[in-house]
Structure 1
Amino acid sequence: MTVIDPSLYLKNQSSARTPSPDLGKDEFLKILMTQLQNQDPTSPMDDREFISQMTTFSSLEQTMNMAKSIDNLVQSQLISPVIQYSHMIGKEVTYEAYDEETGEKLGEQKSNVIAVSQKEGWAILELENGEKVYADSVLQVSDQREPDEGSE
Structure 2
Amino acid sequence: MTTVNPYSSVNAASSFTNQSREIKNAMDKDDFLKLYIEQLKNQDPMEPMDSNQMAAQFSQFSTVEQLINMNTTMEQMVSLQLGNAVGYIGFEVTYSANTIDDEGNVITEEKTGIVKSISHKNGSVILKMLDGSEAEMDRIISVQVPGTSDS
> Which protein shows a greater Rg?
1
TM-score for both structures, normalised by structure 2:
0.46
The TM-score with structure 1 as length reference comes to: 0.45
